[in-house]
Chains A and B, each alone.
Chain A
């Protein structure tokens, strides 16, 4: 489903390690799910580990950006993306459409969401942050660092990967809507 590659490297050790760990965790869980080697209790704890680990990582990244005083124009946009992830991931837990669904479906959804979200986010945003941090470390002013990478030299192949993951995110959100609409119609019918 997904393979790690050097395209994702930020060259900031702690962040790369955490990104890799997260993807390894996702891969392990996917295999477990495929082999059906997982029980409800396992699933419950896997979900909370995934959510916890990814949120923690976002927090670490934010601390590093603060430490290097990255330009505010980047910082505010980056933080906003992280917050939207937090918001979305929390919604999975109390998602009305999953009331009548098995918990295994919830884990599958969360795995898909985290995989596609992080693929997109690392390529689109973390790499831009990493470039600025490298410049700042080499002595550039944060504002200069930001202006320097504005005309981005992103690998064209990366755009294809990003597009792929956002298409998946869109399709999943759309399916979520459909499911919710269906159960909404069903419930209204029940009442009437």
Chain B
């Protein structure tokens, strides 16, 4: 379960509502995965909905930043984080192996989205919210950027981020180990295939040689002599 805490609050209504909704979606999926309530198809569409909702949220955040004319250095970095996340999410559907089973797949992507969100809200969205607040109170975007840059995170927040990133690290390590297994399996298959090919080639060769021998014995043109 991913527990909401006021540490996540950005004090921006739209953003907080969307973040909370995302937590709800993630937790519901968690329960369904654990209890095995949903069929494969239902699980798939729930995941698709989750991804769709996440994408919309990230886009809304970007619009909000543009509206409040946030410093471009921050905007670029923030959007890059979003894009790298979306890239990772897309790869999930492409590379999660089919023999994993759909609940396993769903579990992996739910964990990834949840831990990424925790990490990203605490590390980046909060900095965005503070800059927007500074700008609203009359600072220039540059001043807001410099002010927030100086601020340090409290250790509770850092610990929460640490926990999330540790999970992200573990999961990617596991994903890597699985891919390696797949890779090695593929290599073995490849080798077997190649061996079969050479085998077949040599068989064809012998057959050809035999045919030629036969033909040379037969000398059909002798008949016309």
Contacts and interface: CB of A to CB of B under 8 A. Distances in A.
Interface string B112-154: 0000000000000000000000000000000000000000111
A162 B155 CA distance: 12
Interface in B89-130: 91, 94-95
A177 B172 contact: yes
Nearest to B91: A181
Contacts of B176: 173, 176-177, 180
29 contacts: A91-B177, A91-B180, A95-B180, A97-B183, A154-B155, A159-B155, A159-B158, A159-B162, A160-B153, A162-B162, A163-B165, A166-B162, A166-B166, A166-B169, A167-B165, A170-B165, A170-B169, A173-B172, A173-B173, A176-B176, A177-B172, A180-B180, A181-B91, A181-B94, A181-B95, A183-B183, A184-B95, A184-B179, A184-B183
Report which residue of B91, B162, B187, B193 has the largest number of chain A beta carbons within 10 angstroms of its beta carbon. Answer: B162
A156 B155 CA distance: 6
Contacts of A45: none
A187 interface: yes
Contact of B158 (A97, A163, A178, A191): A163
A160 B179 contact: no
Interface of A: 88, 91, 95-97, 154, 156, 159-160, 162-163, 166-167, 169-170, 173-174, 176-178, 180-181, 183-184, 187-188, 191
A173 B166 CA distance: 12
B182 interface: yes
B186 interface: yes
B83 to A, nearest CB: 14
Contacts of B169: 166, 169-170, 173
Contacts of B153: 160
List the 9 closest pairs (A to B, CB-CB), nearest first: A173-B172, A170-B169, A156-B155, A96-B183, A159-B158, A180-B179, A166-B165, A170-B168, A174-B172
Given A163-B162, A166-B166, A173-B176, 16 more contacts: A88-B173, A91-B180, A96-B179, A97-B180, A159-B158, A166-B162, A173-B172, A173-B173, A174-B88, A177-B172, A177-B176, A180-B180, A181-B91, A181-B94, A184-B95, A184-B186
